[in-house]
Amino acid sequence: MSKKILVLLAASLTFALIQPLANAAVKPGTKCTKLGQTSTSAGIKYTCIKSGKKLVWNKGVVVKKPTPTPSPTAIGDPIGAVGSTPTRTATPVPSATPTPTPTVKPLVTTLTFDDLVQNYLEIPRIVWTKSRDVILSSTKKAPPFRASMGPNTQLIYKTPEVAFDLVSKLYSGYEVSPNLVVLSFNFADVDWAATQMQKEVPVVDSRWIKGSACKTKVTCWGGGVFIDDKDRALLVITTEIKDANHVTGTLEAHEYTHAIQQNQMVKVYQLWPMTDPWPPTWYVEGHAEFSQNAAIYYTSFQDYLSGRKEVTQELYKGSIYKSDYIQEFFAVKQNEDWYKKYDSWRQYDLGSMFAEILVAIKGPASTMEMWKLAGTGVKFEDAFEKIYGISFAKALPIMAKAIALELGRS
């Protein structure tokens, strides 16, 4: 064997003997053979360092295991079929539960006897809206009148013609007497007023002035309208009391409604109790009470409600005003017992709520048409059915129920 071969064999044997030592457990501080040499054992990496003149293993450091890179499936992305390009599918996002759209109830613009009770809360708004629309669409003005004012009297409401115009627009198809005199007076002029009434409408009892309209200074706040057999009309206004009814024009509007009512009758005014074909007194006054607020407060629904409340406030206080009571109150034949049983003021407030319902169903003109038919001799119940398409007997329980509900009762 040549010398060269022997040297290779010796080198191979030396490597074989050294290799196991490199893989053997390393102890810190023990001798190592090559500066910078490293060896890892039990998760600790040791390095050969120089300590003085010796080469030894240091204390070593813990080797951190590499964090495996997550595969696509680790984040929920499926891998495509073998041989295809991996496809990313978006993780489904739960859809939000849709908020249901609230159902908006259509605004009621008119009523019928079939749905009146169901929509009783809508009555004031519908009445005001219909009245406002009629006034705004009309260009009518009240005809001229002759003013007669007591020597010691001053008007509280300075522009009665404004109130007259508004009522004329509300009932534009119905005329007032062309011979209208407006008589205004205070308590100091009560005797003068009685004399003037006797001159203007001689066939009417002028004792009404001192016996009702202006009996005392603190009760001198009434008004009235009287027509004689020659179609001369007298509208009376007292000016002693400065309450809301006298300063807003509602008193003038109320009485002017009476002037239009009576002009449809073409008959001499009757003092109570009235008889056919005159409508019941609760309709006479209730109709005018409705008109005063509808005309004067046509520009503001809130003002209309306030005026309406001023008229009807007593009804909300009395627990007796239930549907049965109300139905009995609206008697067409008002005999002496009726007047003894019922407070006369209920003719104004309950009567106005009755008129409101008719306006809500068929507009303000329908309420004056009742008077026009009466003027031709048609009785109240017959006129009612002709205009509203239902008998008064069938309509009354429905109307009474709706009014009772408005008052918060059954």
Over residues 267-291, mean pLDDT: 84
* Band of pLDDT at residue 66, cut at 50, 70 and 90: low
Same domain, residue pair 281 and 378: yes
Residue 18 has a pLDDT of 38
**Is residue 41 in a domain?**
yes
pLDDT class of 195 with cuts at 50, 70, 90: very high
Residues 239 and 345 in one domain: no
Q: Does residue 14 register a pLDDT over 70?
A: no
Higher pLDDT, 10 or 122: 122
Task: Say how far apart CA 407 and CA 321 lie, in whole Å.
Answer: 8
Who wins on pLDDT, 256 or 21? 256
Please report whether residue 7 resides in a domain. Answer: no
Residue 70 in this model has a pLDDT that exceeds 50 = no
171 plus 122 within the same structural domain: no
Provide the pLDDT for residue 266. Answer: 72
Q: Give yes or no: residues 311 and 386 share one domain.
A: yes
56 domain-assigned: yes
For residue 323, being part of any structural domain is answered with yes
- Residues 371 and 290 placed together within one structural domain of the fold: yes
Do 34 and 181 fall within a single domain? no
Q: Angle at CA 387, nearest 5°, toward 383 and 388?
A: 115
Task: Identify whether residues 284 and 176 lie together within a single domain.
Answer: no
Question: Which carries the bigger pLDDT value, residue 65 or residue 255?
Answer: 255
Q: How far apart are CA 48 and CA 58, in angstroms?
A: 6
Query: Do 206 and 197 contact (CB within 8 A), yes or no?
Result: yes
Least confident of 3-12, 53-62, 196-205, 352-361: 3-12
Predicted confidence at residue 219, as pLDDT, reads: 93
**Which of these, 373, 402, 376, lies nearest to 388 by C-alpha position?**
373
The span from the first CA to the last CA of the chain, in angstroms, equals 133
What pLDDT digit, counting tens, does each position of 287-302 carry? 999 999 999 999 999 9
Listed range (98-107, 221-230, 256-265) with the worst mean pLDDT: 98-107
Q: Are the beta carbons of 201 and 182 closer than 8 angstroms? A: no
Band of residue 259 on the pLDDT scale cut at 50, 70, 90: very high
Average pLDDT over residues 99-105: 62
Q: For all residues of the chain together, what is the average pLDDT?
A: 84
Please report, for residues 42, 47, 55, 58, 232, the alpha-carbon distance to residue 31 in angstroms, rounded to integers and kept in the order given: 19, 11, 6, 10, 143
pLDDT of residue 251: 96
With a cut of 90, say whether residue 182 has pLDDT above it. yes
Same structural domain, 200 and 303: no
| Alpha carbons within 13 A on the beta-carbon side of 384 | 20
- The answer to the question of residue 180 being in a domain is yes
Side chain identity at residue 103, one-letter code? T
Does 125 share its domain with 165?
no
Residues 132 and 278 in one domain: yes
**pLDDT confidence tier of residue 396, bands split at 50, 70 and 90:** very high
What is the average pLDDT across 384-398?
98
Higher confidence at residue 388 or residue 3?
388
CA distances from 118 to 9, 111, 141, 305, 339 (A): 117, 10, 38, 21, 32
Q: What is the pTM of this model?
A: 0.74
- Between 101 and 54, residue with greater pLDDT: 54
List the single range of 67-81, 128-142, 240-254, 274-288 with lowest mean pLDDT.
Answer: 67-81
Q: Give mean pLDDT, residues 219-225.
A: 92
| Beta bridge mates, 147 | 182
Give the pLDDT band of residue 22 (cuts 50, 70, 90). very low
CA 44/CA 64 separation, integer angstroms:
9
What is the Cα–Cα distance from 205 to 234, expressed in whole angstroms?
12
Whether the pLDDT of residue 271 is over 70: the answer is: no
Q: Is residue 2 part of a domain?
A: no
The answer on pLDDT for 88 being more than 70 is no
343 with 377, same domain?
Answer: yes
Residue 97 lies in a domain: no
CA distance 202 to 229: 9
Indicate the pLDDT class of residue 79, thresholds 50, 70 and 90.
Answer: very low
Please say if the pLDDT value at position 193 is more than 80: yes
What range defines the domain where residue 190 resides? 145-248
Q: Quick one: 299 and 319 in the same domain? A: yes
pLDDT value of residue 73 = 35
Our count of domains for the chain comes to 3
Run of H or E including 185:
strand 180-185
Digit-coded pLDDT (tens) for 317-345: 989 999 999 999 999 999 999 999 999 99
* Strand-strand pairing, 146-149 and 223-227: unpaired
Read off the pLDDT of residues 31-49 as tens digits, 9 standing for 90 and up.
888 777 888 776 778 788 7
**What percent of the chain is modeled with pLDDT above 70?**
80
Q: How many other CB atoms sit within 10 Å of the CB of residue 103?
A: 6
Dist CA 331 CA 206 (whole Å): 29
Residue range 187-208: mean pLDDT, rounded: 94
* pLDDT score of 105: 64
Residue 67 pLDDT exceeds 70: no
19 in a structural domain: no
Q: At 5, list the tokens.
A: 């071969």
